[in-house]
Amino acid sequence: MMLAGEVWLANIPFTHGSGAKVRPVLILWLDGADAVVAVVTSATPRTPSDVSLADWKTAGLRVPSTVRLSRLDCLEQSLLFRRLGAISAADAQQLQLTWIKSVKPQF
């Protein structure tokens, strides 16, 4: 069973339809058979909506990682195939604060 706040490996299809790439993603919320996720990357933060994970090992990641709240995908849950871990309470709080400040609709 998947839960918001977990980090999973996902098979993300390319937009042109041929092929896919395996990436870690953070589940933001579940909606029926879909999962709304944010991309997780090993790159350092580059925008105000990027959040560096302090407890990346707890999340099951191999290297220091950043959640890109500006890179959201809505994926069928069947594309998420392996749970890596879950974000810590401190990282969850930072993600929520960043969402409120930088991501929510600006109208």
Go through the domains of the chain in sequence order and give each one's CATH number.
6-103 (2.30.30.110)
Phi and psi at 76, nearest 5°, equal -65, 135
93/99 Cα distance (integer angstroms): 10
- Residue 14 has a pLDDT of 77
Q: CA dist 54 to 24, 44, 65, 102, Å? A: 16, 12, 8, 19
What digits encode the pLDDT tens for the residues 20-65?
889 999 999 999 999 999 999 999 999 999 999 999 999 999 999 9
Place of tokens 């600006």: 106
Instruction: Say if pTM beats, i.e. exceeds, 0.75.
Output: yes
